[in-house]
Amino acid sequence: MLNVANLTASIEDNPILKGIDLNVGAGEVHAIMGPNGSGKSTFAHALAGRDGYEIEGTATIDGADLLEMEPEERAAAGVFMGFQYPVEIPGVNNMYFLRTALNSVRRTRGEDEIGARDFLEIAQKAMDLVEMKKDFLHRSVNAGFSGGEKKRNEILQMAVMEPRLAVLDETDSGLDIDALRVVAAGVNALRGPDRSMIVITHYQRLLDYIKPDFVHVLVDGKIVESGDHTLAVHLEDHGYAGFLNSGLDDASLSGATA
């Protein structure tokens, strides 16, 4: 479903991603772990289509070239990214934003738009899934939301958008124990044979809830190790020390406390 080959990304001549190969099959869940600054978010943004990177290599979704598409076209192709730092948009109503997003991708796909009333039902279901209070729909997008509320809102959006590929960047960071369970349950509920996920996290705890099919370790812009979920357990016990080879000056950051 998602095929990434020799993907590199640099910002103003600084190489950040140094050749990523990753194949995610339909229905699979892949976890990506790695020290701070190793390029995890950059990888997620490269898939979502953020401006400002010099990108080479290939990334296709169901055979279609992702790298040629604008961010909104990628969304229509089924890519959804849960932001590590969701953006506040004062003055734009959350519910209106969600409906506009859903109808925009539907329009691009040649599907009928969904009216306000039907949308309310879809939104309600998503709200129940992430146990979010109704008034959040009537507030401005993420404006004044607590860190944890923003992350729930990301999952809410994912539930509404029903993407082909979800890339969740540290959706578990900043969540309390109950919220973590809610978010994980949301993610699990959305798992399905047609939906693939890439879950970026620093904590094995999340992976206890969301059992990934594969775990990859990203260090200094490259995937240095891949394995099954037991790899996460190993990392939890031993840190990244074993993967940090020479030339890395940020090794001390490996004990993340996000």
Ligand X SMILES: Nc1ncnc2c1ncn2[C@@H]1O[C@H](COP(=O)(O)OP(=O)(O)OP(=O)(O)O)[C@@H](O)[C@H]1O
Name the site residues for another protein (rule: CB under 8 A): 48-51, 70-72, 74-76, 80-81, 83, 86-92, 96-97, 100-102, 104-105, 108, 140, 157, 161
Q: Which does 39 bind (CB under 5 to 8 A by kind): ligand X, another protein, Mg ion, none?
A: ligand X
CB 250, min distance to another protein, A: 24
Q: Of these, 22, 28, 30, 40, which contacts ligand X (CB under 6 A)?
A: 40
Write the CB contacts of 38 (distance below 8 Å, at least 6 apart in sequence).
218, 219, 220, 221
How would you write 16-65 as a 3-class SS string?
Answer: EEEEEEEEECCCCEEEEECCCCCCHHHHHHHHHCCCCCEEEEEEEECCEE
Q: Of these, 11, 64, 189, 241, which contacts ligand X (CB under 6 A)?
A: 11
Residue 240, both tokens: 């990244």
Dihedral over Cα of 197, 201, 206, 211: its sign: positive
CA dist 130 and 149 (Å) reads 10
Work out whether 254 is an interface residue with ligand X (CB under 6 A). no
Beta bridge partners of 222: 219
Work out whether 241 is an interface residue with ligand X (CB under 6 A). no
CA dist 53 and 140 (Å) reads 30
CB 132, min distance to another protein, A: 17
CB 50, min distance to another protein, A: 6
66 within 8 A of 60, measured Cβ to Cβ: yes
The number of residues that bind ligand X (CB under 6 A) is 12
111 within 8 A of 103, measured Cβ to Cβ: no
Work out whether 42 is an interface residue with ligand X (CB under 6 A). yes
Query: Residue 88 or 128: which CB sits closer to another protein?
Result: 88
Q: Which does 101 bind (CB under 5 to 8 A by kind): another protein, Mg ion, ligand X, none?
A: another protein
57 within 8 A of 46, measured Cβ to Cβ: no
Beta bridge partners of 124: none
CB 29, min distance to Mg ion, A: 19
CB 159, min distance to ligand X, A: 24
Query: Residue 45 or 152: which CB sits closer to Mg ion?
Result: 45
Amino acid identity of 47? L
Query: Residue 83 or 119: which CB sits closer to ligand X?
Result: 83
Q: Which does 36 bind (CB under 5 to 8 A by kind): another protein, Mg ion, ligand X, none?
A: ligand X
Query: Residue 5 or 11: which CB sits closer to ligand X?
Result: 11
Question: Phi then psi for 54, rounded to 5 degrees?
Answer: -95, 115
CA dist 2 and 211 (Å) reads 19
Interface residues toward ligand X, by CB under 6 A = 11, 14, 16, 34, 36-42, 84
